[in-house]
Structure 1
Amino acid sequence: MTKEAYQTLSVETSGRVAVVTLRRADQLNAMNKRMQGEITAAFEALSQDEGIGAIVVTGEGRGFMAGADIKEYAAQTGADFDAFQAAGTRMYAAIEDNRKPVIAALNGYALGGGMELVLCCDIVIANQFAKLGLPEIKLGLVPGGGGTQRSVAKLGRNRANMLLMTGAIVPASEFVDTGLVNEVVDAEKLMSRALELAEMIAAEPPAAIEGLKRLTAHAARGDLAKGLAMERDILGELYRSEIGQKRVREFAEKSAARAGKAN
């Protein structure tokens, strides 16, 4: 087994399977700028690695990924925010358009950007404690990493609207009948099941697997590029609005206060 060195995640390979583990457990693996860049770098490298046939992505601790780090959000200028969103587009594409199948092993909360990451994956296995949601509306915002576009594509418009407009956080088991989550397994079996699937897929002819991924993506995709651009434009307007700024600051202050009490 080999391991690559990153600060906010780890990449371990065994045979033809790579495991990417998000490692900001004290923040429920909330994504800051460094993690965003490291996810992009890791997945772009794995896509080009001919020795890898499948990728598993999971989180450390109780969270898969609890969205963007709102404390960092609150400190961003408008230009910083736009750059972060643009970099996010590249990050999600590195997963969705990866040449290798990506299996999400949901060990806990996948919220906001975390659920957006899940929406980019090819297969999703969850434990019984995993929950998903797109709660950006609680900040007076909309998702900016493809959440509005990919949730409709994978869940249907009405189910997506229920999530997006209420900000509900929903058990993974409720997404099985939609097809977003393939299986829910006991927590102790999560990684073994994800690795079993990854090894099974990685053992098949790489060109055929890559071809299947491209074909199913084409079948599912409408005018995604236009939708993603619209999403970023609306999010940018909302982030700069009075209520968006107020709610982001309030969330960041509450988060900092909770962290202070924990220490």
Structure 2
Amino acid sequence: MRTYQTLTVETAGRVAIVTFRRADQLNAMNRLMQGEITESFESLSGDASIGAIVVTGEGRGFMAGADIKEYAAQTGPEFDIFQAAGMRMYAAIENNRKPVIAAVNGFALGGGMELVLCCDLVIANQFAKLGLPEIKLGLIPGGGGTQRSVAKLGRSRANFLLMTGAIVPASEFVAAGLVNEIVEVDRLMPRALELAEMIAAEPAAAIEGLKALTAHAVSGDLDDGLTMERDILGELYRSEIGQQRVKEFAGRSTTKAKKGGP
């Protein structure tokens, strides 16, 4: 597996673990890191041996946004290139064929929260905090934060984060549905891996189909989504594993009925 300078990619069975490794910078994202995130996620998306991905950060931070020192030194054209490359990076996560689970271990700010917004499930420890503080620099999010925050949190909640730059405990995002669970520090990775292994054990085609359908449901037309759902279900039902599991379940139900069991 390829070696990176700003992150590591490890595997545990059918689960890939991507860990940002710029702890001394709270894993702030520079151009090198941006490119390596894109490359690693695009590679994992096409890897048939991987069924799910967990992404986390080393040290006290998940990702504290862009590397402001590098950001400040960019020329106008360099800034535009950086932003365009960022769109590809976020797409590599959001549109990944594998479910992506964020294990948020600390600050997820700016581009870090935008990355969380691209993930399919989010587990955070009790000290994790999220925010989109770009307004404090007189800027706005440039990695889809204005759009994905509204889609996942609602407009009023998104406006509060965007217009005040507030940094909010992850626990406050559970009710909104962005964060699935808050766990103790020492339970963060075990719980994220437990979920990833559970998902990776299911048929890849079914998981991929579910991811596509729920993504479509956020912003797509309902009738188109229902057609997609019907078509994907039909393919899965006719597949070898679909037929096998349905028949196995039917056989178990018949046996229980004959024995008078529940």
- TM above 0.5, yes or no, is yes
Q: Of the candidates 139, 163, 171, which is equivalent to residue 137 of structure 2? A: 139
Give the number of the structure whose alpha-carbon radius of gyration is greater. Answer: 2
Give the superposition deviation at 1:4: 3.9
Give the superposition deviation at 1:221: 2.4
Q: Does 1:20 align with 2:18?
A: yes
Q: Which amino acid aligns with 2:163?
A: M
Q: How many residues align?
A: 221
Give the superposition deviation at 1:143: 0.2
Q: Which amino acid aligns with 1:12?
A: E
Q: Of the candidates 86, 89, 99, which is equivalent to residue 87 of structure 2? A: 89
Q: Of the candidates 204, 208, 211, which is equivalent to residue 210 of structure 1? A: 208
Q: Of the candidates 25, 29, 34, which is equivalent to residue 32 of structure 2? A: 34
Contact kept? 1:127, 1:186, Cα under 8 Å: yes
Cα distance in structure 2, aligned partners of 1:25 and 1:195: 21
Residue 108 of structure 2 aligns with which residue? 110
Residue 98 of structure 1 aligns with which residue? 96
Q: Which amino acid aligns with 1:145?
A: G
Q: TM-score, normalised by structure 1?
A: 0.83
Q: Which amino acid aligns with 1:99?
A: R
Give 3-state SS (helix, strand or coil) of 2:41's partner.
Answer: helix
**Relative contact order: is structure 1 or structure 2 higher (C-alpha 8 Å, sep ≥ 6)?**
1
Contact kept? 1:59, 1:65, Cα under 8 Å: yes
Map of 1:82-231 to 2, 5 A cutoff? 82-221=80-219
Contact kept? 1:123, 1:181, Cα under 8 Å: yes
Point out 4+ residue stretches in structure 1 off by more than 2 angstroms: none
Unaligned runs of 5+ in 1: 224-263
Cα distance in structure 2, aligned partners of 1:52 and 1:26: 30
Residue 72 of structure 1 aligns with which residue? 70
Contact kept? 1:105, 1:125, Cα under 8 Å: yes
Cα distance in structure 1, aligned partners of 2:208 and 2:153: 24
Q: Which amino acid aligns with 2:89?
A: M
Write the deviation string for residues 20-54 of structure 1: whole angstroms up to 9, x where unpaired: 00000000000000000000000000000000000
Contact kept? 1:4, 1:12, Cα under 8 Å: no
Q: TM-score, normalised by structure 2?
A: 0.83
Cα distance in structure 2, aligned partners of 1:159 and 1:131: 15
Residue 253 of structure 1 aligns with which residue? none
Give the superposition deviation at 1:14: 1.4
Give the superposition deviation at 1:222: 5.5
Cα distance in structure 1, aligned partners of 2:218 and 2:45: 21
Residue 235 of structure 1 aligns with which residue? none
Give 3-state SS (helix, strand or coil) of 1:132's partner.
Answer: strand
Residue 243 of structure 2 aligns with which residue? none
RMSD over aligned Cα atoms: 1.0
Cα distance in structure 2, aligned partners of 1:163 and 1:33: 26
Cα distance in structure 2, aligned partners of 1:21 and 1:4: 14
Identity of aligned residues (%): 83
Cα distance in structure 2, aligned partners of 1:4 and 1:62: 25
Give the superposition deviation at 1:141: 0.2
